[in-house]
Amino acid sequence: MKRRTENCPCGSGRAYEACCGRYHAGERSPDAEALMRARYSAYARGLEAYLLDTWHPATRPPALDLDADPHPLWVGLTVASHRPLDATHAAVEFVARYKLNGRAYKLHETSRFERVDGDWLYVDGEIRE
């Protein structure tokens, strides 16, 4: 019997295990875009520990409370741009779509990332209209 593979929530078209799943399992993200996609997938899968672990300590909240009701249903991701700024800084612009209580929303953000000791970390983001 053939095993069904789950598509990655980040929208890459690849299987979860070959895409964001490997980063959730501990592999380092090679760049800020891969980390941003893995973080989106972590939100979609409720992986709070991964999100906190990949958040820069200077801006990391104490908790995210992903289990609070109502919680969003993440339905799609579009990456508009990935801009390496130098060897340790990058920006990623994206649109994440989600539903909350049956109503559709989108989050359009430009996120800043910093590489610390070889690991890319989310620093903060600017919400766009």
* Residue 3 confidence (pLDDT) above 90: no
Domain 16-128 matching CATH 3.10.450.50: the answer reads yes
Torsion sign over Cα 104, 37, 122, 71: positive
Going by the DSSP 8-state scheme, the letter that residue 51 receives in this structure is: H
Going by the DSSP 8-state scheme, the letter that residue 87 receives in this structure is: T
pLDDT at 4: 61
Look up residue 38 and give its two tokens. 């893995």
68 pLDDT tier (thresholds 50, 70, 90): confident
φ/ψ (deg, to 5) at 33: -65, -45
Q: How far apart, in whole angstroms, are the C-alpha atoms of residue 101 and residue 72?
A: 8
**Beta-bridge partner residues of 119:** 116
87 neighbors 21 (Cβ within 8 angstroms): no
> What rounded mean pLDDT belongs to the chain?
95
Average pLDDT over residues 13-30: 98
70 neighbors 101 (Cβ within 8 angstroms): yes
Q: Tens digits of per-residue pLDDT, 107-126?
A: 999 999 999 999 999 999 99
Q: Tens digits of per-residue pLDDT, 71-95?
A: 899 999 999 999 999 999 999 999 9
Going by the DSSP 8-state scheme, the letter that residue 42 receives in this structure is: H
Q: How far apart, in whole angstroms, are the C-alpha atoms of residue 46 and residue 72?
A: 10
pLDDT at 92: 98
Q: Report domain extents, the chain.
A: 16-128
Look up residue 122 and give its two tokens. 């989310």
pTM of the model: 0.94
